[in-house]
Each structure stands twice: as structure tokens, then as C-alpha cells.
Amino acid sequence: MLVYLGSGMRNVDFVTKYSDISSLTTASTSDALLLPYPPSYHVQAFTGIGVHAQYYRHQEARQLIEKTLTVNPIHQNQDVVIEASVALRKQAHHIMGLPYWYLRGIYWFIRKNNIVNRKIIV
């Protein structure tokens, strides 16, 4: 569980890591969906629900991923800042590998509002 505080707002992310290239994140803000992620990074966001309901949605998604993809979470004691930095670099590399990525910003901004409050599909 990661909690972000700033500008009078509190955002919560539940993160489960399956490997160095696979994870599940359940966020509390649609901003988590603004930019695309590599295909093995599963991200969903639910707004207007409490932390307990968000955690329940995360657990539902975990069960789906673990059953469908036959994977298990890994538990590593690594620095959260380093983990986030590595994930952001992988996301940036993925984005810049997309054709015309620099022209897609408006589409991504609109898209995030269409996919918030929806469960992941595996």
C-alpha cells in the first residue's frame, strides 16, 4: 500500500509485483491511467470508493491475474523509491516506443476518464 499526500489530497495505490516486468496496481485516482503502461503492467483505478473497497477490488484483480496467468506475487524488501523509479523508466521507454507517441497526449487524457472505475481485463 502506497499513500501519496499533496495539495490537501490523499491518493492510495495497492501494488502487487509478480516479476520485474509484471505487476498489478489499483489506484484511487484517474490520474494513474493518464499514460499507457507496458502490457504486463495491469493498472486499474477506482474513484469515490473507500480504501477498504479499493483493497477488495485489488484482491479481486489479484485472483483473476494469478488464476488466469498462473503467476504468484513476489515479496522483496526493496526501496520503494527505487522500485517506482525503475517502473517509471520502463513506462517511459514503452511510451516512447509507440508510433507518434508525442501526438497522443490529448487522446490519453480523454481515455483515462473512459476507463476509470472499470476492472482490469486479462
For residue 68, being part of any structural domain is answered with yes
Within a domain: 16? yes
Decide if 120 is inside a domain: no
Q: How many CA atoms lie within 13 A of 80 on its CB side?
A: 8
- Model-level pTM? 0.92
Is residue 122 included in any domain, yes or no? no
CB 32, CB 25: distance < 8 Å: yes
Residue 100: give the domain boundaries: 2-114
Question: Which grid coordinates are listed for 70?
Answer: 498462473
Cα 7–9–11 angle (5° rounding)?
130
Q: Which H or E run contains 65?
A: helix 51-69
Q: For each of the chain's 122 residues, which pLDDT tens digit applies? A: 999 898 888 999 999 999 988 999 999 999 999 999 999 999 999 999 999 999 999 999 999 999 999 999 998 788 888 888 999 999 999 999 999 999 999 999 999 999 999 999 88
Q: Alpha-carbon distance 56 to 122, whole Å?
A: 18
Q: Nearest-CA neighbor of 24 among 111, 32, 109, 98?
A: 32
The domain tally of the chain equals 1
